[in-house]
Structure 1
Amino acid sequence: MKHIYLNLKRFDIPKEAGGVNALAPIREWGAKIIRDTQDALREYNREDVEFAMYFPEAHLIPALEALGENSPIQVGCQGVFRADTECGGNFGAFTTGRTANAMRALGCESVLIGHCEERRDKSGIMRELMHSAGTPEIPEDAVRKAVNRILNQEIREAVRAGMKVLYCIGESAEEQPVWRDVLKEQLETGLAGVERSEITIAYEPIWAIGPGKTPPDQAYMEKIGAYVKEVTGGMDVVYGGGLKKENAKLLAGVPSMDGGLIALTRFSGEIGFYPEEYLEIIRLYMDGVEKDKKY
């Protein structure tokens, strides 16, 4: 099965406030994305490909309400807290915490955990804590290990609540010389003690994300996908560095990759996310997959 994920980040912010949203008024934005895509996605066989969209929390209810009967779209959230409610225990004392039980009760089927932006945030908090405490600078490997342990707690809560998980891993430019060790630790620690049947891995080449940087080629993607499958015993892995028009056909030809993660659909001019371009990316990718099957 192929997996197409969509991380909508904070693409809802209007342009006049520094964002990239020219699609709809912010209160209507989440529902419009669902309405403008779900009928077109029905043409794909659910046994061949699944679609999940990760919305900022404010848009979850409008997005869920816009789902039609038997919609092919799974609505997901962009993270969960590392602890949760339990019968006879904590009944909800988690101010600002987006708990897995709350998200599942709302109707979310999936969650994005470990995105490089989340990892960066958690690492920054740890460094600031050490700086404020006046302690010597904490080694980067210790920060990485602590972040992986926290992410493992989040994954555990999501799985316990009955949610699917897209777990992101990846190495920075500084970590590239030891990329195998970095990815292996992220996988082994993040997935420790977790039922893996509803988890997919997303590989983010952090070293290649950003203006002016060279994305990985097909051979590199194949190498990473094969390594992740080797370490995890064959778990599905998707390319999290950005599935777009420019690389959709290339990615479709990578045997060890099982899909991709889309974010922005337009990177120049009127930068932003546009549903018709999202659908075009999917068409290009799936056409490439079908073509690859024939050869």
Structure 2
Amino acid sequence: MKHLYLNLKRFDVPVEYGGVNRIAPLKDWGSYIVSHTQDGLKKYDPSQVEFVQYFPEAHILGAVSALCENSPVQVGCQGVYRMNTAVGGNFGAFTTNRPASIAKAMGCTSTIIGHCEERNDKAGILAEAGVTDTAAVNRLLNQEIRLAVEQGLTVLYCIGEKSEEQERWQEVLGEQLSVGLDGVDTSKVVIGYEPVWSIGPGKTPAGKDYITKIARFVKERTGGLDVVYGGGLKVDNAEMLASIEEIDGGLIALTRFQGEIGFYPDEYLEIIKTYLGK
């Protein structure tokens, strides 16, 4: 099974507010993306490839409402809280946080956890409290993963090493896997590898040999879990990534990096076409 994920981050913010949303009015943004991609994805065999789109929470209901019958699109959320509601237990006293139960109730089937931006946020909060132990971040992510899986969501669990961690990448990624997946039903988990050191303007992208090495390591450590490239699947690298036997898909974000940068549904479909070769 191939997995093609879309992380829409905060691409909903209009240009006049400093964002990159040029494609639809804010109230229609989620439904616009689903309605302008699902027909183009119908030509692919659902038993061979899945398409999951991770929306900011404000757009989940609109995205779900736009799903047609037998839509190839799955709607997901961008993370869940480390606690959940429970019958006879906490009914939802989680102000500002998103429990896995509401993600499921809204129509989500999946969630993305451990993206480098989430890791940085958690590490920053912990640092303010004087905690610099990287395992602490992984323990928090583990709580999120376990509750997401228990709620019936699949999980894209992102791991990756920073530039200062490259020399000990095995230790860093090994801890992210062992702590993050502790006690988890991994049949519901796909690993997304983000080479954090290579992401961003002016940085050298990770090459085929390096990505292959990491994917093999992850599969060995996890008993063969599917691994997707989380460093940005683009038209420019789609054929290269598709040629790596150990890579089972990719994570798409921005589709245009120059001019009117942003996410555009037609360009998203072109990336998928290039990766799948049809």
Bin the TM-score by the shorter chain: over 0.9
| Pairing 1:83-162 to 2, within 5 Å after superposition | 83-130=83-130, 138=131, 140=132, 142=133, 144-162=134-152
In the alignment, the residues of structure 1 paired with residue 217 and residue 85 of structure 2 have an alpha-carbon distance, to the nearest angstrom, of 36
How many Å apart are 1:25 and its aligned residue?
Answer: 0.8
How many Å apart are 1:90 and its aligned residue?
Answer: 1.0
Equivalent residue, structure 2, for 1:195: 185
Equivalent residue, structure 1, for 2:263: 273
How many Å apart are 1:198 and its aligned residue?
Answer: 1.2
| Pairing 1:1-295 to 2, within 5 Å after superposition | 1-130=1-130, 138=131, 140=132, 142=133, 144-287=134-277
- State the number of aligned residues: 278
How many Å apart are 1:206 and its aligned residue?
Answer: 0.3
In the alignment, the residues of structure 2 paired with residue 127 and residue 197 of structure 1 have an alpha-carbon distance, to the nearest angstrom, of 33
Q: Report SS of the residue matched to 1:10.
A: coil
In the alignment, the residues of structure 2 paired with residue 275 and residue 92 of structure 1 have an alpha-carbon distance, to the nearest angstrom, of 35
How many Å apart are 1:47 and its aligned residue?
Answer: 1.0
- Identity, in percent, stands at 62
In the alignment, the residues of structure 2 paired with residue 246 and residue 268 of structure 1 have an alpha-carbon distance, to the nearest angstrom, of 13
In the alignment, the residues of structure 2 paired with residue 269 and residue 97 of structure 1 have an alpha-carbon distance, to the nearest angstrom, of 35
**Which structure has the larger Rg?**
1
The AA in structure 2 aligned to 1:150 is L
Q: Report SS of the residue matched to 1:165.
A: strand
Moved over 2 A (4+): none
How many Å apart are 1:147 and its aligned residue?
Answer: 0.3
Q: Report SS of the residue matched to 1:175.
A: helix
Which runs of 5 or more structure 1 residues have no equivalent in the other structure? 131-137, 291-295
In the alignment, the residues of structure 1 paired with residue 175 and residue 38 of structure 2 have an alpha-carbon distance, to the nearest angstrom, of 37
Q: Report SS of the residue matched to 2:27.
A: coil
The AA in structure 2 aligned to 1:56 is P
**TM-score, scaled to structure 1:** 0.93
**Root mean square deviation, CA, Å:** 0.8
Equivalent residue, structure 2, for 1:134: none
In the alignment, the residues of structure 2 paired with residue 267 and residue 219 of structure 1 have an alpha-carbon distance, to the nearest angstrom, of 25
How many Å apart are 1:199 and its aligned residue?
Answer: 0.5
How many Å apart are 1:87 and its aligned residue?
Answer: 1.6
**TM-score, scaled to structure 2:** 0.99
- 1:34-54 per-residue CA deviation (whole Å, 9 max, x = no partner) reads 000001101000111000000
Q: Report SS of the residue matched to 2:163.
A: coil
In the alignment, the residues of structure 2 paired with residue 92 and residue 272 of structure 1 have an alpha-carbon distance, to the nearest angstrom, of 35
The AA in structure 1 aligned to 2:194 is E
In the alignment, the residues of structure 1 paired with residue 88 and residue 16 of structure 2 have an alpha-carbon distance, to the nearest angstrom, of 48
Q: Report SS of the residue matched to 2:26.
A: coil
Equivalent residue, structure 2, for 1:135: none
In the alignment, the residues of structure 2 paired with residue 127 and residue 219 of structure 1 have an alpha-carbon distance, to the nearest angstrom, of 34
- 1:38-79 per-residue CA deviation (whole Å, 9 max, x = no partner) reads 011010001110000000000000000000011001100001
In the alignment, the residues of structure 2 paired with residue 17 and residue 105 of structure 1 have an alpha-carbon distance, to the nearest angstrom, of 31
